[in-house]
Chain A
Amino acid sequence: MRSPLLATLASVFLASIAGAQEINLTDMEGRAVTLEKPAERIATFPMPMASVVVSMDGGIDRLVGMNEQSYAAHFEGLLGTIFPEAADIPFDFVGNGFVPNVESLVTLSPDLVVQWGGRGNDIVDPITNAGLSTLLVLSGTEDNARGSQSLIAEAIGKPERFETMLHWRNEVVAAVEAKAAAIAKDDKPSVLYMLRSLSEITATGRENHYNTWYIEMAGGISSSAELNGTVPISAEQIAVWNPDVILLNSFEPELSVDWVYDHPILSQLAAAQEHRVYKMPIGGYRWEPASQESPLTWMWLANLLHPEVYDFDLRAEMRSAYEFLYNYEVSDAEIDSILRMDMQGDAANYAQFRAQ
Chain B
Amino acid sequence: MTLRRVAVVCLGSALLSLSAAQAAPDAATLKRGERVYERCAACHSIEGNRTGPQHCGLFGRRAGTAPGYDGYSRALRDAKIVWNERTLDAFLQNPVRAVPGTTMGYAGIADARERADLIAWLREATRPGRSCRLSR
Is this pair of chains taken from one and the same complex? no
Binding site for B on A (CB under 8 A): none
